[in-house]
Amino acid sequence: MKNYKELLKKISTWMKQDGLLFVHHFCHKVFAYHFEDPSVESWFTRNFFSGGTMPSANLLLYFQEDVAVVNHWLVNGMHYARTCEEWLKRMDQNAAAIRPIMESTYGKDSAIKYTAYRRTFFISLAELFAYNNGEEWMVAHFLFKKK
């Protein structure tokens, strides 16, 4: 997502006058930054977040033309780190059931590679969200009302 103003404007047209919008997104505590693929070394960006943005914790507060924030709070990143670790554990426990899904999605020749990518994704995010005891990357929650 890049155009938050237009997104919130469009969503506001779908809302009832007394409706509420709940937004849950991953964020960095202070900085918003784009995921770009400037080089071959950008494996993570290229495979998972190409063209995306990591928003800052307060980014949506700047886009209140059509909706107004009712509440805004942060959830420590350790919760998501544990979620990623659990997904990895369940993926490993269910490897036999997952293999045909990966083969039908990515092809028989690439199933092992994309399974390894998913495992790396979970491991990387668990480490990222656990960094600094979960106080650097975290989850932001917003509750908006229609203006």
pTM, 2 dp: 0.83
Report the CATH number that the domain containing residue 15 is assigned in CATH.
Answer: 3.40.50.150
The count of structural domains within the chain is 1
pLDDT interval class at 125 (50, 70, 90): very high
Helix runs in 25-110, H state only: 43-44, 78-93, 95-106
Minimum mean pLDDT among 46-60, 67-81, 93-107, 109-123: which range? 46-60
Task: Report how far apart, in Å, the C-alpha atoms of 59 and of each of 26, 76, 111, 137 are.
Answer: 11, 17, 37, 14
Structural domain of 80: 4-146
